[in-house]
Structure 1
Amino acid sequence: MKIYQDWHGLGQLHQNLVVGLGNFDGLHLGHRRLIASLVNKAAETGGTAAVFTFFPHPLVVLKPEQAPPLLMTRESKQEMLAALGVQVLLEVPFTSQFAAIGPQEFVAGVLVQELAVAHVFAGYNYTFGRGGRGDAQLLQAAGRQYGFGVHIVSPVMVDEVPVSSTLVRQMLADGEVEAAAAYLGYSPFLEGRVVTGEQRGRLLGFPTANIELPAGLLVPANGVYAVKIRLGKDIYPGVANIGIKPTFHAQGFERTLEVHILDFTGDIYGERVRVFFRRRLRGEQRFASVEQLVEQIHRDITMTRELSGYNSQREVI
């Protein structure tokens, strides 16, 4: 997949562009339907499957106080888009200057003049241009005017509820990782580098990998989770803790993510890992003694092993 930050002349570099418009945070089932549709259209027409999106999230520039935490890193989004068949990613820096472009100017100047789009795909609730005044109806009218195809993708419904990034964020904030997976189409995950922590887990008999997370990511609710952790090409089962470790720290201590990897020995400091959240086992709690904590950790590990798919030591991707 080729990645660009500038749209000027892109239509000359890649002919017959089939472009998906949107932010695509989380790449949930609705996003995946849209991308699958445009990839199929590109294959049918001999075109190039492309996505037009932004970095950072527009609200970071327009209304920073309302900017949502992200469901995945920029790098993860790029990796997943490529795996879904996108050939060209136009990842435009979102600035106040770009936000000032009107919807008609965006269509005529960017989509038509610079990209020479053959087809455009957008979600049913997609808005664009200054003040969000452009919508699906305007896109359809512009398509008729300039001669490009416009495909408005209806929402994906799960349990009679439309899938959205906002809904997924709320589920994760509540610790409902299994429900979030049903809307995402994959297990929610966090990724980061393994760093040195307090090393208390090793003293308790349960060494943990402490994960340094990039700023701006949504971290699920505090608690203990059954997870899988990807180390290179291998995936291991594990038990993760998110929170302040109240048995040892008072309120206000910085939240951390640490993972005890089952049946694993080795030095992975400095490695970049991905932690997939499969099920929340319990909320975070303060124990009256270290002995009680250790007993509970044993129960957490037993429960994790009993979960479907956690029977083998490791799986290879």
Structure 2
Amino acid sequence: MKPKEHRLLHAACRATAISDPALQQNQGETSDQSAKSLEKEISSFLKAVRQDRESVYKSSEGMLQPLMLLYDLALLQVCDMSNFGFENVDHRRRVIWPNLALPRRPRPNGVFYILTANLAHSMQAFRLLILHGFESQARASFRNVIEVIDLMTMVLASEATYREYIKSFEDDKVSYRHWKSHLSPAVIRASISKLEADNPIALPIDLTTEEIRKGTYTWLSNFTHVNYVAHVVAAHPLRFDGTSRRLAMLGGVGEMSKSTLAHVLVNLWISLLRIEHLLWEKHGWGRFRGDRSRHWFRYRCRAMDDLFRSYLPTFWEELSSADL
């Protein structure tokens, strides 16, 4: 503990001793001694938590394979897009909407970077949470991933959505009304549904992309909002052998972790397929050459699609039968 924090803690314990001398007397020590006891307790507690988290992380990467392989490949693609946006923020040639007359500020390349950076951050946060055993919190985190990737999809698909996205307002009420009318998750999902009805993605599972998007978002929302049953599940997660356990303040990896990964992976898969199609068909990513070539990115897209198609349907059937 640094000197400043040390002084703050000791001052707080002295104030407690003055305001409640009987409580301090019950501790059988002076306020300065109580401050030292708290320092020691905090240090030992955090050490035990770190050890538990490191242990869970080391074991969970293996337990959640090959699902984590699929997730990490999707994360690589998103981080690649983010880095491409970062490297081209100030480039004179646009990486999105190359032929449209758009406002000069913000620059379209900057808009692309902002969206992909936020998506990459959110996906990394989910990865850390799921692998450290905080599965319920990972679900809440991934709902944000869905909202960002859906918004990104429509910003790439629709000039109108792009123009609404880059608007900003000083008045909070006006800003909220604008978001509610043009950029809220419900509005964006409705726009994506229309987009996919006009140009559907064929899937090797017995679900439409609209059913997957709606079902996944609803499922994640059930665990995000105040819900007693969801809280019970989070506090008693299933082991891989099907038994439940109490975890107190610690996290753990089990069948619900696999269920969560399966849900989010299908959603990621269809979203990245759509984004790839938009980048090539609407934004001309095939035109880049040399250091800006996107050929390897597209190769990864195809390999990722083949990987998803070869494995995920089997697991999705197992997931559906388990009804997790």
Using structure 1 for the length normalisation, give the TM-score.
0.21
Q: Which protein is richer in strand relative to its size?
A: 1
Between structure 1 and structure 2, the one with the greater Rg is 2
Using structure 2 for the length normalisation, give the TM-score.
0.20
Q: Which protein is richer in helix relative to its size?
A: 2
